[in-house]
A = this chain, B = another copy of it.
Amino acid sequence: MQKKRTTLKDIARATGVHVSTVSRALDPAERKSITPEVVAKIQAAAERLDYRPNRIAFGLRTNRTMTVGVVIPDITNPIFPPILRGIESVLEPLGYASIIVNTDSEREREIRLLEVLRDRGVDGLIHAAVLRSDPSIAKAAQDGLSVVTLNRRVERSNIPYVINDEDMGICEMLRHLTKLGHRRIAHLAGPQDLSTGQLRLAAFRSAAERMSIDIDPELIVTAIRFDEAEGARCTRDLLASGHDFTAVLCANDRLALGCIDVLRENGLDCPSDISVSGFNDMPFLHLARPRLTTVRIQQYDAGITAASILLRLMNSGADDDIPLETVLPVELMERDSTGPVAARRR
């Protein structure tokens, strides 16, 4: 079907040398061991015949596919596209291609897709969908596959990871809320089987302690997914509990959006009645009203960083000391969804 491509053999025939000589002449590293005129002749022929190396054959011989796998929960979640572009921006110029797979946060799916990627002989893996304890990925790393995790980390392993400064983000947000006079602050926590959810909850607790704010345990409710529906459900629970609160610090933006919707349904205005904050500053968030106060994380840079570390990992002589942990700075984005606590509720 495909018009057949020219191979080393074709060039060898055209120039009257052996295919191994052609191979060497075309390889910058080996080129020096070949007479310059021969190299020139071969390069000319390669050019003329429009030679393009067969990556499949290369891969079979060298066991390097120049391909990396990227595992994410779901590409339709808008925080991932910028991350992918970040990854691509460092890997693509070096000749790597990436295969992106969506786990939908399902363990079965994740395991199967991991198999698929390994079957395809990826040289490395960027994993942005690991669970806190994730045997399959730990095993892959054990087997010698280069792995970096992104946004999340797998505990008790030496897999390098790139995360955001969750502590700082939560802490600044809490400070922001207290500065506005809030004391009864609810936390809409993320899934506890994900390190982001867990870290942000822990950060919330410790920051509250440091600032000596009493946290009513009933005001901490845990979502089982990071989405609007769960944000809505948790907020309903919060309201139903009867415990009073003037602000809700949410573990991510989507929970916050769901939260605001339910407040509105119940006749509560954000921010004049209740302040709500998010986390991530996801793309297109600027469309929402009120504009959400949130913590911006560096999505594109996270991709760049993870890819760079993966590169070092793949090329390391094992002597290379790769940083196990990279924490990216975050930034508080004060917008309209948080405001001073209403006088009557103080």
Chain A interface residues toward B at CB < 8 A: 1-3, 52-57, 59-60, 63, 65, 74-76, 78, 81-82, 84-85, 88, 92, 97-102, 115-116, 118-121, 143-145, 257, 283-285, 287-289
- Which residue in B78, B100, B143, B257 is a CB contact (below 8 Å) of A2? B143
In chain B, what residue has the closest Cβ to A122?
A: B97
10 further interface pairs, Cβ-Cβ under 8 Å (given A1-B144, A76-B283): A52-B115, A54-B121, A74-B85, A75-B75, A76-B85, A78-B283, A97-B99, A97-B120, A98-B100, A257-B287
28 contacts between A and B (CB under 8 A): A2-B143, A2-B145, A52-B115, A52-B118, A53-B119, A54-B119, A54-B121, A56-B56, A56-B65, A56-B121, A60-B60, A75-B75, A75-B84, A76-B283, A78-B78, A78-B81, A85-B102, A88-B102, A92-B101, A97-B99, A97-B101, A97-B116, A97-B120, A100-B100, A257-B287, A284-B287, A285-B287, A288-B288
In chain B, what residue has the closest Cβ to A99?
A: B97
Task: Establish whether residues A99 and B98, one from each chain, have CB atoms under 8 Å apart when the complex forms.
Answer: yes
Measured between C-beta atoms, what is the minimum distance from A21 to chain B in Å?
Answer: 22
Copies of the chain in the assembly: 2
- Which residue in B53, B60, B88, B285 is a CB contact (below 8 Å) of A57? B60
Q: How far is the CA of A101 from the CA of B53 in the complex (A)?
A: 20
Q: How far is the CA of A277 from the CA of B288 in the complex (A)?
A: 18
Task: Establish whether residues B119 and A55, one from each chain, have CB atoms under 8 Å apart when the complex forms.
Answer: yes
Residues on B with beta carbons closer than 8 Å to the beta carbon of A84: 75
Task: Establish whether residues B144 and A3, one from each chain, have CB atoms under 8 Å apart when the complex forms.
Answer: yes
Measured between C-beta atoms, what is the minimum distance from A336 to chain B in Å?
Answer: 12
Measured between C-beta atoms, what is the minimum distance from A288 to chain B in Å?
Answer: 4
Task: Establish whether residues A284 and B78, one from each chain, have CB atoms under 8 Å apart when the complex forms.
Answer: yes
Residues on B with beta carbons closer than 8 Å to the beta carbon of A120: 55-56, 97
In chain B, what residue has the closest Cβ to A95?
A: B116
- Which residue in B59, B74, B98 is a CB contact (below 8 Å) of A56? B59
Measured between C-beta atoms, what is the minimum distance from A172 to chain B in Å?
Answer: 24
Measured between C-beta atoms, what is the minimum distance from A151 to chain B in Å?
Answer: 17
Q: How far is the CA of A102 from the CA of B81 in the complex (A)?
A: 11
Q: How far is the CA of A21 from the CA of B264 in the complex (A)?
A: 69
Residues on B with beta carbons closer than 8 Å to the beta carbon of A54: 60, 119, 121
Measured between C-beta atoms, what is the minimum distance from A261 to chain B in Å?
Answer: 11
Measured between C-beta atoms, what is the minimum distance from A263 to chain B in Å?
Answer: 16
- Which residue in B3, B56, B75, B76 is a CB contact (below 8 Å) of A60? B56
Measured between C-beta atoms, what is the minimum distance from A252 to chain B in Å?
Answer: 15
Measured between C-beta atoms, what is the minimum distance from A275 to chain B in Å?
Answer: 19
Residues on B with beta carbons closer than 8 Å to the beta carbon of A101: 92, 97
Residues on B with beta carbons closer than 8 Å to the beta carbon of A65: 56
Measured between C-beta atoms, what is the minimum distance from A63 to chain B in Å?
Answer: 8
Measured between C-beta atoms, what is the minimum distance from A165 to chain B in Å?
Answer: 23
Residues on B with beta carbons closer than 8 Å to the beta carbon of A85: 74-76, 102
Measured between C-beta atoms, what is the minimum distance from A232 to chain B in Å?
Answer: 14
In chain B, what residue has the closest Cβ to A299?
A: B76
Residues on B with beta carbons closer than 8 Å to the beta carbon of A2: 63, 143-145
In chain B, what residue has the closest Cβ to A140?
A: B2
